[in-house]
C-alpha cells in the first residue's frame, strides 16, 4: 500500500511541534496524594494476569497507542467512532479496556479523583510485562487525561503493520524516537496475537496478482495459509508462535528467519542498524541486553506528548471525559 509524501511531511511536521511536557513527570509523583497508588495498580494487574495472562499484550499496546496518539484514554472500549479507527486498532482486546477500568476503580476507592487513567495505563503496561518475565522500568508519573478526541489522528500517528522501513523510521522520528527505539519496541511483538486481516495481504495478494510476499519465508506462508483464508477477519494467530506468552527474544529469531508476521516486522531487515540489532539478539544470549534496551525505550516513549500540571483532567471513569 502506497504511503503519500504528504503524510510523510505531516509526520515530520508533527515531530517538530509534538509538545512534550515530560518535565512535569517525576518518580513518586503520588507519594503524598496517594502513596499506595502504585501498590494497588501492581496488585490488581497481578490479579488480572493470574486469570488472563494473554491480556499483557493488549495492555502493552494500549500504552503504545496512548503515547503515539493524542488519545489519553478515549472511549474506545465502548465503541469505535468509525471503521477506519477500528482498523487502526486490529490487535487490541476490548477486555484490555475493561482491565484498566477495574484497576482505575480500585485506585478511586482509595484516592478518588487523584490518579489519572494515563498514569494507570503506564503502570499496568510495565507490571504486565514484568509478570511475563520481561523487563521492568521506573515509571515517572504525573500525566493528565486528555479531554479531546479526534479519531483521524489514529490514521496519521499510528504506524500500521504494512509500513516499510522508511515509513516506520519517519513515524518514530516524528515522536522523538530513533531507529534503535524502533527495533527495540518492535520486540514487544514477542507477546500477543493478531487477526489474520493484519497480514493476509502478504499471503494471498501482495502485489495485486495473487502472489505472496517474497520477504516472508515460503514454508511459513504455507503454514499461515492453513490458519487464515484470504477473507478471514476473526481468527487470531500468535505473533511469536510457541512463545507468545513469554517476554523474550524469540521475536528476533523469527524475524531473522523471515518469519515476522507483519510487513513492518520484515522491514527491520531492510535497514543496516535495525538488521544488526535483530541478528545480534536472535539468540538467548541477547536477552539481557534486550530487556535493558526495552526498559530504556519504554521510559522514553512514555514521555511523548504528555499532559501535565493543569492541562487536561483526571477522569473519574477512563472511558469518558468528565
Residue 240 annotated in ligand binding: yes
Residue 35 annotated in ligand binding: no
Give Cα 254 to chain centroid, integer Å: 19
Residue 161 annotated in ligand binding: no
- Is the Cβ–Cβ distance between 321 and 153 less than 8 Å? no
Cα separation, 65 vs 20, in Å, equals 16
- Is the Cβ–Cβ distance between 308 and 144 less than 8 Å? yes
Residue 101 annotated in ligand binding: no
235 to 49, 229, 230, 283, 322: CA distances (angstroms)? 23, 9, 11, 30, 36
Phi, psi of 87 (to 5 degrees): -70, -20
Residue 248 annotated in ligand binding: yes
Cα separation, 170 vs 26, in Å, equals 29
Cα separation, 303 vs 59, in Å, equals 17
Q: What would the grid cell of residue 249 be?
A: 527474544
Catalytic residue positions?
65
Please report how many Cα atoms fall inside a 13 Å half-sphere around the Cα of residue 7, on the Cβ side: 16
Residue 38 annotated in ligand binding: no
Phi, psi of 75 (to 5 degrees): -85, 40
- The DSSP letter of residue 193 is E
Residue 217 annotated in ligand binding: no
Residue 159 annotated in ligand binding: yes
Q: What would the grid cell of residue 47 be?
A: 490479579
Residues annotated in a binding site: 66, 69, 85, 159, 189-190, 240, 248
Residues annotated in a binding site for substrate: 159
Residues annotated in a binding site for Ca(2+): 66, 69, 85, 190, 240, 248
Amino acid at each position: 500500500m502506497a504511503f503519500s509524501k504528504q503524510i510523510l511531511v505531516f509526520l515530520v511536521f508533527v515531530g517538530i511541534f509534538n509538545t512534550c511536557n515530560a518535565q512535569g513527570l517525576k518518580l513518586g509523583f503520588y507519594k503524598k496524594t496517594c502513596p499506595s497508588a502504585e501498590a494497588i495498580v501492581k496488585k490488581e494487574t497481578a490479579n488480572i494476569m493470574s486469570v488472563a495472562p494473554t491480556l499483557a499484550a493488549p495492555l502493552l499496546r494500549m500504552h503504545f497507542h496512548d503515547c503515539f496518539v493524542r488519545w489519553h484514554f478515549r472511549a474506545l472500549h465502548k465503541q469505535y467512532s468509525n471503521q477506519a479507527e477500528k482498523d487502526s486498532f486490529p490487535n487490541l482486546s476490548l477486555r484490555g479496556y475493561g482491565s484498566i477500568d477495574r484497576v482505575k476503580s480500585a485506585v478511586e476507592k482509595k484516592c478518588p479523583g487523584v490518579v489519572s487513567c494515563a498514569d494507570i495505563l503506564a503502570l499496568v503496561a510495565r507490571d504486565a510485562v514484568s509478570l511475563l518475565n520481561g523487563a521492568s522500568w521506573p515509571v515517572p508519573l504525573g500525566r493528565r487525561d486528555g479531554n479531546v478526541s479526534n479519531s483521524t489522528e489514529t490514521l496519521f500517528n499510528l504506524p500500521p503493520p504494512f509500513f516499510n522501513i522508511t515509513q516506520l523510521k519517519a513515524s518514530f522520528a516524528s515522536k522523538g524516537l530513533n531507529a534503535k527505539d524502533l527495533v527495540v519496541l518492535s520486540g514487544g511483538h514477542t507477546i500477543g496475537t493478531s487477526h489474520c486481516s493484519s497480514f493476509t495481504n502478504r499471503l494471498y495478494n501482495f502485489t495485486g496478482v495473487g502472489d505472496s510476499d517474497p520477504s516472508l519465508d515460503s514454508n511459513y506462508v504455507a503454514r499461515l495459509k492453513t490458519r487464515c483464508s484470504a477473507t478471514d477477519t476473526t481468527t487470531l494467530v500468535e505473533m511469536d508462535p510457541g512463545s507468545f506468552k513469554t517476554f523474550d527474544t524469540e521475536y528476533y529469531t523469527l524475524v531473522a528467519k523471515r518469519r515476522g508476521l507483519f510487513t513492518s516486522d520484515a522491514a527491520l531487515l531492510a535497514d543496516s542498524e535495525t538488521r544488526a540489532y535483530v541478528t545480534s539478539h536472535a539468540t538467548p544470549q541477547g536477552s539481557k541486553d534486550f530487556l535493558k534496551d526495552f526498559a530504556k525505550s519504554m521510559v522514553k516513549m512514555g514521555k511523548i506528548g504528555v499532559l501535565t500540571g493543569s492541562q487536561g483532567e483526571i477522569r473519574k471513569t477512563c472511558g469518558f471525559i468528565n
